[in-house]
Chains A and B, each alone.
Chain A
Amino acid sequence: MSTDPIFPSQPSRRAFLKGAGTVTAAALTIGFEWAGSRPADALAAAPAAGALFAPNAFLRIGADNSVTVVAKHVEMGQGAYTGIATVVAEELDADWSQVRVESAPADASRYYNSAFGKIQGTGGSSAMANSWTQLREAGGKARAMLLTAASKEWHVPTSELTVENGVVYHAGSRRRAPFGSLVKSAAGLPVPDTVRLKDPKDFKLIGHRAPRVDVPAKCDGTAQFTLDVALPGMLVALLKRPPLFGATVRSFDAGAAMAVPGVVKVVQVPRGVAVVAKGFWAAKQGRDALKVEWDDTNAEKRSSAALMEEYRHLAEQPALSARKEGDAVPAIQKAARKVSASYEFPYLAHAPMEPLDAVVKLSADSCEIWAGDQFQTIDQANAAQTAGLDPKQVSIHTLYAGGSFGRRANPGSDYIMEAVSIAKAYGADGTPIKLQWTREDDIHGGLYRPMYFHKFEAGLSADGQLDGWRHVIVGQSIMAGTSFAAMIKDGVDPTSVEGAASIPYAIPNIDVELSTTKSGVPILWWRVVGSSHTTFAVEAFIDEVAHAAGADGFEFRRKLLAHQPRMKAVLELAAEKSGWSTGPLPKGRGRGIAVAEAFKTFVAQVAEVTVGEDGHVEVDRVVCAVDCGTAINPDVITAQMEGGIGFGLGAALYGAITLKDGRVEQDNFNGYRVLRMNEMPKVEVHIVPSAEPPTGVGEPGVAPIGPAVVNAIFAATGKRFRVFPFSKGDAA
């Protein structure tokens, strides 16, 4: 069998052509995958070099009529490539079958995410929101230039021209010109300053079901992930990291590791000791044989149970204010009825299916990185610092990421830095080195969703009005000590309190407080960030308050959302579609509702559960209503809601990273359980029609599922779960 062909690092037209002429069948598949989704056609239609129209950084049109959209956002499953291409193609009136997507290079000057400032990266469900106007204009201006080119060739005014599916028409003279035939003349025209964008009623792709550009290659094994990068002479590294967070290497003995056939070098780096070998298996055996003595002096040695005990204590101490309206404490004291409860949330691992990996080719004056990169500008800076280079000398080839859920967007660039440091310790001689994490490395590797404790008190008037609400949150700050620390205002990390400080309900007296803790456990945002615990707690507790008020959970929320039309609308839609008004389900079954706003998207979910005599919880059905503004691709939105529900449900049922004397107790998918096929409920998604600008859908679907299920279990059994995951908690 032949070895792998060289991976075309950046799918430039030039590399593409070069590959097309010379390579084997196997290489064709790979070369193609890079360029888009329809290998055979695209290769057959490869244009002559230079015959290109590239009016801006996001778009190229070839003489072969191909439309190449350059995506500044990583495709990690959320559908960004398809969404981005849809917006460009819509304003361009392109033929969807001729549209392909490639990833942008790391270059913040052109590809920054306006939601983050001048930083290129993907996160916060911001891809479509920050691309919407930019890419509509990119497509619209290109279309205007193609029209001008046709009008000049045909000597007719542009007002007499029409465009459909990548072809410009002049009805009067019955002439037609595919985009490809116009690229040469269009390329010589000035880019217009402004362009009139389409009236949404004329959208042909937006709001319709354009098939995903990445799906075909993901059904036949040809999609290229970092795992699949194979460069000539490439070595594979596995890193032995300390068993406790914060421990360091005291000494190591490389003898046994070096004796493993295929092991090339053993090198010490800041995060541990790496075994560099010819292939994964040799590296793995080498690492198993490697002996390292660790210095635990500054390591985190506490157990998660001890940390939670400390959090419970802190919840009774003064904390920082995250929101204050009226005066909640006296309002609750005076209340006819008081309700209180506390909720506990564990550390959670992201556990994307593709364990973290990165390929680095480091030499004296350049650092080339291949990764499912989510934070290009930050990774570029961190890699440069580690390598001793200028960020401009660091290039990143962003590949498909096999899931992320936030893990690949970390301010410390942990896995990238490890790979660069190994390449540096190896000799920075241009040898490509792939750092591969195992699943155990992933589960043990930190950067978890933080553990949190939530304490609530609420006061109801004699007639059931919610007069006072006090909420204390205790947990680590994700942003503290990172390059995002400037976003911490008056000691309050917005990611600790989002979804709680912004509680949408009309309550006259609100007091939300935060007590930020410190621990040696590295933490990070996890899909839907703060709302993964705040919405969970708020929506579970508001249900308890509604019950105490003798009210229906849906009606109670609805009344408090009179001033929140979009949130109220999703709540009503989910309730209506679920059959909420038909009354309670039979014995042993129950319905629960929850609603959230996350990243400006509104989501409500109704969960239906069956609880067995043995307490086993089966989630049968989830009805989801979502308002994400203009629905660019309804099928992708539906898929993200389905996926968010499955992801959040798995965490609510089973997800927990626990520490015993500082050591992570889970190793792999046996100890860290995630949702499987047989546990996935039926999901129905209803999208609220909207003409508002689009917001994100990658994360918000996660937020309401946990509390919807908790509330459904209560409806079925009268038991409230307040310690998560359910499988470890005691119902009260």
Chain B
Amino acid sequence: MSTTFVLNGKSATLDADPNMPLLWAVREVAGLHGTKFGCGMALCGACTVHLDGQAIRSCVMPLSAVAGREVTTIEGLQSKQAKAVQAAWVEHQVPQCGYCQSGQVMSATALLEKNAAPTDADIDGAMSGNICRCATYPRIRAAIHTAAQSIKA
């Protein structure tokens, strides 16, 4: 059975079990490996992608649920907010092991796309679903503020 949706700006038809989580469809069927598997229960955020512009956890989203909708993975990030986030991530040398960082970047981008000047509380609200076992949290916070500033400038 196949599901058609927009993946990173292009129409994609994936032939897979409609119950397959979007995470595995994106990784193993579409071959895009930036989105990571961390918990399988929407508890850690490593699998965060954008669905119609919203940050969602792809590990619990059935492929069938994205039919006709727009999915963006880290490979498809284009917005000025995304570019600012990635530049700030490098500037602040955020990653350590790096495994969660695709998800962190996706959550931070979704935050800035809605909120141009997030407060620390806004950052807590948007980012607390993304676990980082290396605890790069202080740098993520600083990088989000930097990204917000750079977009404004």
A221 in contact with B74 (CB, 8 Å): yes
- Say if the beta carbon of B35 comes within 8 Å of chain A: yes
Main secondary structure of the interface of B (DSSP, over half): loop
Give Cα distance in the complex from A78 to B96, angstroms: 6
A221 in contact with B97 (CB, 8 Å): no
B148 to chain A, nearest CB (A): 16
Please indicate the chain B residues that have their CB under 8 angstroms from the CB of A217 in the complex. 98
Please indicate the chain A residues that have their CB under 8 angstroms from the CB of B37 in the complex. 227, 280, 355, 436
- Say if the beta carbon of A279 comes within 8 Å of chain B: yes
Give Cα distance in the complex from A282 to B19, angstroms: 11
Give the A interface residue count (CB, 8 A).
Answer: 67
B133 in contact with A647 (CB, 8 Å): yes
A77 in contact with B24 (CB, 8 Å): no
Residue in A78, A215, A228 whose Cβ sees the most chain B Cβ within 10 Å: A215
- Say if the beta carbon of B6 comes within 8 Å of chain A: no
Give Cα distance in the complex from A682 to B102, angstroms: 23
Given known pairs A281-B24, A353-B97, A402-B98, the reply for A668 and B133 (CB within 8 Å) is no
State which residues 644-665 of A face B: CB under 8 Å.
Answer: 644-647, 650
State which residues 27-73 of B face A: CB under 8 Å.
Answer: 27-41, 43-44, 46, 73
State which residues 117-136 of B face A: CB under 8 Å.
Answer: 123-124, 127-136
Please indicate the chain A residues that have their CB under 8 angstroms from the CB of B73 in the complex. 221
- Say if the beta carbon of B5 comes within 8 Å of chain A: no
Residue in A77, A222, A644 whose Cβ sees the most chain B Cβ within 10 Å: A77
Please indicate the chain B residues that have their CB under 8 angstroms from the CB of A281 in the complex. 16-17, 20-21, 24, 28
B98 in contact with A355 (CB, 8 Å): no
B99 in contact with A439 (CB, 8 Å): no
Please indicate the chain A residues that have their CB under 8 angstroms from the CB of B35 in the complex. 221
Q: What string of 1s and 0s marks CB contacts (under 8 Å) between A427-455 and chain B?
A: 00000000010111000000000000000
Knowing that A77-B98, A635-B93 are A-B contacts, what are 11 other residue pairs whose CB atoms are under 8 Å apart, sorted by A's residue number? A77-B95, A221-B102, A222-B34, A224-B33, A225-B99, A280-B27, A281-B16, A281-B28, A400-B98, A668-B43, A674-B133
- Say if the beta carbon of A261 comes within 8 Å of chain B: yes
B interface residues, Cβ below 8 angstroms from A:
12, 14, 16-17, 20-21, 24, 27-41, 43-44, 46, 73-75, 77, 86, 89-90, 93-102, 105, 123-124, 127-141
A77 in contact with B28 (CB, 8 Å): no
B23 to chain A, nearest CB (A): 9
B90 in contact with A439 (CB, 8 Å): no
Please indicate the chain A residues that have their CB under 8 angstroms from the CB of B89 in the complex. 215, 219
Closest A residue, CB atoms, query B77: A220
Please indicate the chain B residues that have their CB under 8 angstroms from the CB of A439 in the complex. 38-41, 43-44
- Say if the beta carbon of A314 comes within 8 Å of chain B: no
- Say if the beta carbon of A201 comes within 8 Å of chain B: no
Closest B residue, CB atoms, query A352: B133
Please indicate the chain B residues that have their CB under 8 angstroms from the CB of A669 in the complex. 39, 41, 43-44, 131
Please indicate the chain A residues that have their CB under 8 angstroms from the CB of B41 in the complex. 439, 668-670
Please indicate the chain B residues that have their CB under 8 angstroms from the CB of A635 in the complex. 93
A400 in contact with B97 (CB, 8 Å): yes
B85 to chain A, nearest CB (A): 8
A677 in contact with B141 (CB, 8 Å): yes
Give Cα distance in the complex from A675 to B135, angstroms: 8
Please indicate the chain B residues that have their CB under 8 angstroms from the CB of A332 in the complex. none
Give Cα distance in the complex from A440 to B90, angstroms: 32
B78 to chain A, nearest CB (A): 12
Q: Which one of B27, B97, B140 lies within 8 Å of A76 (CB-CB)?
A: B97
Please indicate the chain B residues that have their CB under 8 angstroms from the CB of A677 in the complex. 123-124, 127-128, 130, 132, 137, 140-141
B142 to chain A, nearest CB (A): 11
Closest B residue, CB atoms, query A357: B37
B138 to chain A, nearest CB (A): 6
Please indicate the chain B residues that have their CB under 8 angstroms from the CB of A642 in the complex. 135-136, 138-139
Please indicate the chain A residues that have their CB under 8 angstroms from the CB of B34 in the complex. 220-222
A4 in contact with B137 (CB, 8 Å): no
Give Cα distance in the complex from A351 to B39, angstroms: 10
Please indicate the chain A residues that have their CB under 8 angstroms from the CB of B77 in the complex. 220
Q: Which one of A401, A668, A670 lies within 8 Å of B97 (CB-CB)?
A: A401
- Say if the beta carbon of A173 comes within 8 Å of chain B: no
Give Cα distance in the complex from A4 to B27, angstroms: 10
Residue pairs across A and B with Cβ atoms less than 8 A apart, 25 shown, are A211-B90, A215-B89, A216-B90, A218-B101, A219-B89, A222-B34, A230-B31, A261-B17, A281-B20, A352-B99, A403-B99, A403-B134, A439-B43, A440-B40, A639-B96, A639-B139, A642-B139, A676-B128, A676-B129, A676-B137, A677-B127, A677-B128, A677-B130, A677-B141, A680-B138
Q: Which one of B14, B32, B96 lies within 8 Å of A79 (CB-CB)?
A: B96
A351 in contact with B133 (CB, 8 Å): yes
- Say if the beta carbon of A93 comes within 8 Å of chain B: no
Q: Which 8 A-B pairs have the closest CB atoms?
A: A646-B135, A221-B34, A402-B99, A218-B98, A77-B97, A77-B96, A221-B74, A218-B95
Q: What string of 1s and 0s marks CB contacts (under 8 Å) between A55-76 and chain B?
A: 0000000000000000000001
A354 in contact with B36 (CB, 8 Å): yes
B93 in contact with A438 (CB, 8 Å): no
- Say if the beta carbon of A317 comes within 8 Å of chain B: no
B94 to chain A, nearest CB (A): 7
Given known pairs A1-B31, A26-B31, the reply for A214 and B95 (CB within 8 Å) is yes
Q: Which one of A214, A225, A643 lies within 8 Å of B134 (CB-CB)?
A: A643
State which residues 199-232 of A face B: CB under 8 Å.
Answer: 211-212, 214-225, 227-228, 230
Q: Which one of B21, B30, B93, B100 lies within 8 Å of A211 (CB-CB)?
A: B93
Given known pairs A439-B38, A677-B123, the reply for A353 and B93 (CB within 8 Å) is no
Given known pairs A222-B34, A677-B123, A677-B141, the reply for A353 and B46 (CB within 8 Å) is yes
- Say if the beta carbon of A683 comes within 8 Å of chain B: yes
B97 in contact with A402 (CB, 8 Å): yes
Given known pairs A353-B132, A669-B44, A680-B135, the reply for A1 and B29 (CB within 8 Å) is yes
Give Cα distance in the complex from A261 to B17, angstroms: 9
Give Cα distance in the complex from A211 to B90, angstroms: 8
Give Cα distance in the complex from A353 to B46, angstroms: 8
Please indicate the chain A residues that have their CB under 8 angstroms from the CB of B129 in the complex. 676
Please indicate the chain A residues that have their CB under 8 angstroms from the CB of B128 in the complex. 676-678
Give Cα distance in the complex from A449 to B6, angstroms: 45
- Say if the beta carbon of A297 comes within 8 Å of chain B: no
- Say if the beta carbon of A3 comes within 8 Å of chain B: yes
Please indicate the chain A residues that have their CB under 8 angstroms from the CB of B127 in the complex. 677
Q: What string of 1s and 0s marks CB contacts (under 8 Å) between A662-698 and chain B?
A: 0000001110001111101011000000000000000
Q: What string of 1s and 0s marks CB contacts (under 8 Å) between A487-516 and chain B?
A: 000000000000000000000000000000
Given known pairs A3-B31, A677-B130, the reply for A214 and B98 (CB within 8 Å) is yes
- Say if the beta carbon of A2 comes within 8 Å of chain B: yes
Given known pairs A1-B12, A670-B41, the reply for A403 and B28 (CB within 8 Å) is no
Please indicate the chain B residues that have their CB under 8 angstroms from the CB of A676 in the complex. 128-129, 131, 137
A212 in contact with B93 (CB, 8 Å): yes
Given known pairs A438-B40, A668-B43, the reply for A645 and B96 (CB within 8 Å) is no
Give Cα distance in the complex from A79 to B136, angstroms: 13
State which residues 275-327 of A face B: CB under 8 Å.
Answer: 279-282
Give Cα distance in the complex from A668 to B141, angstroms: 25
B108 to chain A, nearest CB (A): 11
Q: Which one of B31, B86, B98, B136 lies within 8 Å of A4 (CB-CB)?
A: B31
A353 in contact with B135 (CB, 8 Å): no
Q: Which one of B43, B99, B141 lies within 8 Å of A354 (CB-CB)?
A: B99
Give Cα distance in the complex from A545 to B111, angstroms: 48
Please indicate the chain A residues that have their CB under 8 angstroms from the CB of B12 in the complex. 1
Give Cα distance in the complex from A227 to B124, angstroms: 28
Please indicate the chain A residues that have their CB under 8 angstroms from the CB of B133 in the complex. 351-353, 403, 405, 647, 674
Please indicate the chain B residues that have their CB under 8 angstroms from the CB of A224 in the complex. 33
Give Cα distance in the complex from A402 to B34, angstroms: 13
B38 in contact with A353 (CB, 8 Å): yes
Give Cα distance in the complex from A216 to B86, angstroms: 9
Please indicate the chain A residues that have their CB under 8 angstroms from the CB of B123 in the complex. 677
